[in-house]
Chain A
Amino acid sequence: MKLLEVQNMTTYYKLKEGYVRACENISLHLEQGEALGLVGESASGKTTAALSLIKLLPENAQVMGGSIRINNRDIAGASEEELRSIRWKEIAIIFQGAMNALNPVRRIGAQIVEALRIHEKMTEKEACYRAAELFEKVEIDPARVREYPHEFSGGMRQRAMIAMAIACSPKIVIGDEPTTALDVMVQAQVLQLLEQLRRERQMGMILITHDLSVVGETCDRVAVMYAGRIVESGLTETVFEKPAHPYTQALIAAFPNIEGERYLASSIPGNPPNLLYPPAGCRFHERCGQAYARCSEEEPLAVELSNRHNASCHLLQGRVRI
């Protein structure tokens, strides 16, 4: 049984001018203990997709359709009450810029205790004990529970956020750009920690990032998003070795490979489309070097290329495996 299964989820934002189609027909799944990377550039819809799972969206957002099943329980239509019990206990999120999301005038320990006591029935003492335990788990000296956020470095604050996220032992953790703005070494440390925790606790993890390198180091599977749609998904090795969608190919070509030749790939021309008025047909066709007539008329459907490797591109029609 899959831990998380999302089918055809669509989320729009309502603006005065119309609907922004932030994500359309998102289908993904997650097994227990597996890490899925959601890769895309700014405005690709990846954050919206993740936040839609637990409906932590701004007021003008509407999840228009699709099913979201956690352990076979459909929460797409769940009420706010139900969602509140799911958030943090079953699915936890580490937000982007989380290290700056800590309240600067309260001790870090107190903030974790607060989160614990909201979700689980614990006395203050028990919660404090648990907070110290969690700090040990994320490799921070438990005595530092009494310190304030400004006394922690960026990397340590991020670990504190991770501690908060795993506090209620969730089944799924969503990390939204958990390592942006951290130094390379600290980034590696934090990612190593996340992977360790994931394996120990058999948590499912969805890692949202614009940085392919993060995906390579932590995710078993990857889904590439462009303009609100998933254009390719599969095992990380497969997607890296044999990218099928032109966008993925361009992203991988732009990834500097110190084991290969010194080669500066060219940029993808143009800009991501305005999701208020998305282009007809394939959303990538205006920037695609390999587009042909059909691409501007018809949206490509997902094609299964090999085991668990899908991509949506007309050019792949000939390679369909029935």
Chain B
Amino acid sequence: MSYLFAKKDSLILWKKNLVSFWSIYRQNTMGLIGLFILIFFALMAIFAPYLVTITTMVVDGVTQVLHPPVKGFWLGTDDLGKDIFAGVIIGSRVSLLVGVAATAISMGIGTVIGIVSGFYGKTVDAFLMRFTDVFLVIPWLPLMLVMAALLGPSLGNIILVIGITSWAGTARIIRSQTLSIKERPYVERARAIGSGDTHIMYYHILPNVFPLIFANTVLVAAIAILSETTLSFLGMGDPTQVTWGMMLHFAFSMGAVSFGAWWWLLPPGICVVLVVLSFTFIGYALDEVLNPKLRRRDQ
């Protein structure tokens, strides 16, 4: 909306909205925990290269493979003697990056299709929804595996694959919200002042669907990160990249289980769980924060 104001006013508005949002959000314990965990990992991901480098543990010229945790190598070493602690920290970068990027693609496609479909209705809606149904109905794991196998195991492709397989649910949700917003009097009013379709979709429907998108985005991000972990674990990931999923993949395929190398198996898994949990908590909190606000009516 900033096009309609002088810069200084839009800043005031931003602050105002942020303050009112935060004052409600911070009362939600779950949301705060989730936010805290997420910030922790986000910082970890951002500053990773400055914090650690992956070194190999060598003692007396002998590479110490599958060495339990010890000072300096807080989480021990893997089958090549590499530092797992550093691996976990570095791995957070890619895991989170993939999660965010895939989510962006997914939400982008889902929102556009959802809004266009809901707004125009009739043939456009029917066509787009059948198209969406295809993606909804096909089980995502086999679809992802097939596409990953076809496209090849590069990071970019992984992001693409996850994005393409997860937009359908979002599209459905946004479409139904669009259907209800379309009937509101203020949309009729927008027509009455001469607005065109694109203007209405962008300035009236989108901002009012936004809270829904926001809460949904967070949950999709959780799924995206899980998906990356899954793909990498199953061997479809990019072997040159260090991600939590890849670490799990190598751990399992190199026999960490039978060796009892819990320091290799647990940390990446726990990190994935924590991140996904944080997104989920935030998602729940957002639902609570954003919905009552929409329904509030002052006398």
Contact = CB atoms under 8 A, between A and B. Distances in A.
Q: Do chains A and B touch in the complex (CB under 8 A)?
A: yes
A43 B299 CA distance: 8
3 contacts: A42-B299, A43-B299, A272-B299
Query: Which of under 10, 10 to 19, 20 to 34, or 35 or more describes the interface residues of B?
Result: under 10
Interface string B273-299: 000000000000000000000000001
A272 B299 CA distance: 9
Contacts of B299: 42-43, 272
Nearest to A271: B299
A91 to B, nearest CB: 28
Contacts, number: 3
A280 to B, nearest CB: 22
Interface string A150-184: 00000000000000000000000000000000000
Return the 3 tightest CB-CB contacts between A and B, nearest first.
A43-B299, A42-B299, A272-B299
Interface string A18-61: 00000000000000000000000011000000000000000000
B292 to A, nearest CB: 15
Interface residues of A, number: 3
Contacts of A272: 299
A200 B299 CA distance: 39
A118 to B, nearest CB: 33
A8 B299 CA distance: 27
A42 B299 CA distance: 8
A218 to B, nearest CB: 27
Interface string A263-279: 00000000010000000
B26 to A, nearest CB: 15
B24 to A, nearest CB: 13
Nearest to A274: B299
A41 to B, nearest CB: 10
A96 to B, nearest CB: 15
Contacts of A42: 299
A43 B298 CA distance: 11
A177 to B, nearest CB: 16
B28 to A, nearest CB: 16
A2 to B, nearest CB: 34
Contacts of A43: 299
A278 to B, nearest CB: 15
Nearest to A272: B299
A141 B25 CA distance: 55
Nearest to A41: B299
Interface string B10-53: 00000000000000000000000000000000000000000000
Nearest to A43: B299
Nearest to A42: B299
Interface in A97-140: none
B184 to A, nearest CB: 19
A300 to B, nearest CB: 25
Interface in A265-318: 272
A272 B298 CA distance: 12
A222 B299 CA distance: 25
Interface in B77-100: none
A63 B299 CA distance: 24
A228 to B, nearest CB: 14
Interface string A237-278: 000000000000000000000000000000000001000000
A6 B299 CA distance: 29
B194 to A, nearest CB: 32
A272 to B, nearest CB: 8
B50 to A, nearest CB: 45
A207 B299 CA distance: 22
A319 B299 CA distance: 36
A243 B299 CA distance: 27
A111 B299 CA distance: 34
A316 B161 CA distance: 80
A241 to B, nearest CB: 31
A217 to B, nearest CB: 27
Interface in B161-187: none
A27 B299 CA distance: 27
A11 B191 CA distance: 47
A227 to B, nearest CB: 12
Interface in B245-299: 299
B255 to A, nearest CB: 58
A105 to B, nearest CB: 23
Interface in B184-243: none
A95 to B, nearest CB: 19
B299 to A, nearest CB: 6
A267 to B, nearest CB: 16
A256 B259 CA distance: 91
B297 to A, nearest CB: 11
A21 to B, nearest CB: 16
A43 B297 CA distance: 13
A42 B298 CA distance: 11
B298 to A, nearest CB: 10
A114 B269 CA distance: 57
A283 to B, nearest CB: 16
